[in-house]
């Protein structure tokens, strides 16, 4: 079940989010989920359940695919700029 929440970003947090999005980490939702998951693992996590591990791997794969797509877009732009 998904729940919607509102987040207020400082200028610095917005800059950091923009950097992460530019690096291919996806939208605010993806970045927030990953940040919470990492903080939970660092601060609270014992051995994660199998379901939690599967979710983490799925999120990692989605983030990786987003990064690959971002890199592909950069390469396509570079190729277009190099065209005479």
DSSP state of 49: P
Note the pLDDT tens digit of each residue in 9-43.
999 999 999 999 999 999 999 999 999 988 888 77
Residue 5 in any domain: the answer is no
46 or 66: which carries more pLDDT confidence?
A: 66
Cα gap 53→22, rounded to integer Å: 26
Residue 75 in any domain: the answer is yes
Contacts of 7 (CB under 8 A, 6+ apart): 28, 32
Q: Which domain holds residue 49?
A: 11-82
Please tell me the total count of domains within the chain: 1
> In which element (H, E) is residue 5 found?
none
Residue 76 in any domain: the answer is yes
Question: pLDDT-based confidence at 48, cuts 50/70/90?
Answer: low
Residue 1 in any domain: the answer is no
Residue 6 in any domain: the answer is no
Residue 60 in any domain: the answer is yes
């Amino acid at each position: 079940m998904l729940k919607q929440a509102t987040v207020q970003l400082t200028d610095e947090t917005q800059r950091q989010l923009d950097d992460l999005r530019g690096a291919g980490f996806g939208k605010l939702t993806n970045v927030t989920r990953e940040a919470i998951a990492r903080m939970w693992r660092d601060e609270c996590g014992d051995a994660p359940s199998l379901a939690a591990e599967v979710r983490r791997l799925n999120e990692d794969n989605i983030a990786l695919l987003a990064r690959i797509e971002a890199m592909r877009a950069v390469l396509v732009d570079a190729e277009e700029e190099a065209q005479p």
